[in-house]
Amino acid sequence: MSLKYGILGFLSEWPGASGYDLKKEFDTFMNPFWHTHLSQIYPELNHLEEKELVHSEVVEQTAKPDKKIYTITKEGRNYLRDWLSSSPQSPKIKEAFLMRSFFLDNVTADEAIFQLQLYKKRRDDRLKNMKKTLKQRLTEIKDENAALTPRILMITSVYKKGLDEEKGFIRWCEDTIKLVQHYKDLWKKEDREDDDILLNHESLKDAPKWFVELIDEINE
């Protein structure tokens, strides 16, 4: 639903961009929180043009196929501003690995730890790539002696949110790995049939601090 607004947002400061240009911008700057394909961008551009929110023109190129470039219209800017001024909706989160983690009791503790370590590595890689992208963009702005603009401020703020989120996931992986390691015997179901571990002060002894604090908070 928000793809059309992302396209209009990019075109609001970049008249004359092609669908491929927009795809590169999405991949570079919105990758931490929004992923899209060319097969989604071009139909959306056609839809926006039908509603007269953008207009296109074909540019002839030497030794290359002609390309179609798009520019936002006055109606498109008003449409974008109306969306930006509307009340934000509550997020509908779909995080596949969190669902997977919910059911990791169906595999061995070692496999659960391995999956968490693997996911942590993926998040580590994303964090490094985000830092690299932000550094590259800010370096380009500095080298170009570009003036500080509201767009630059907001891009930086959004990236900070993305960086914080990746760091949060990494910490969560580390905390959960320690939790599984501490209660590893719980995964040996055949050994605890007659000796269940109850959720009491005794079972919380030496458990990770965050887990103890969470249980205490729930019990208040």
For residue 127, give every residue at least 6 positions away whose Cβ sits within 8 Å of its Cβ, in sequence order, or none.
Answer: 163, 166, 167, 170
CA distance 18 to 125: 30
> Per residue in 154-182, pLDDT tens?
888 888 898 999 999 999 999 999 999 99
% of the chain at pLDDT higher than 90: 50
Higher pLDDT among residues 36 and 205, named by residue = 36
Fold held by 3-85: Arc Repressor Mutant, subunit A (1.10.10)
Angle among Cα 71, 78, 69 to the nearest 5 degrees reads: 10
**Domain spans of the chain, in order of start:** 3-85, 96-190
* pLDDT surpasses 90 at 41: yes
| Res 200: pLDDT | 60
Sign of CA dihedral 146, 148, 150, 155: positive
DSSP state of 91: P
pTM across the whole model: 0.77
Q: How many CB atoms lie under 10 A from the CB of residue 100?
A: 14
**Mean pLDDT, rounded, of the chain:** 87
Residue 194's pLDDT is: 53
Question: According to the model, what pLDDT value does residue 48 have?
Answer: 96
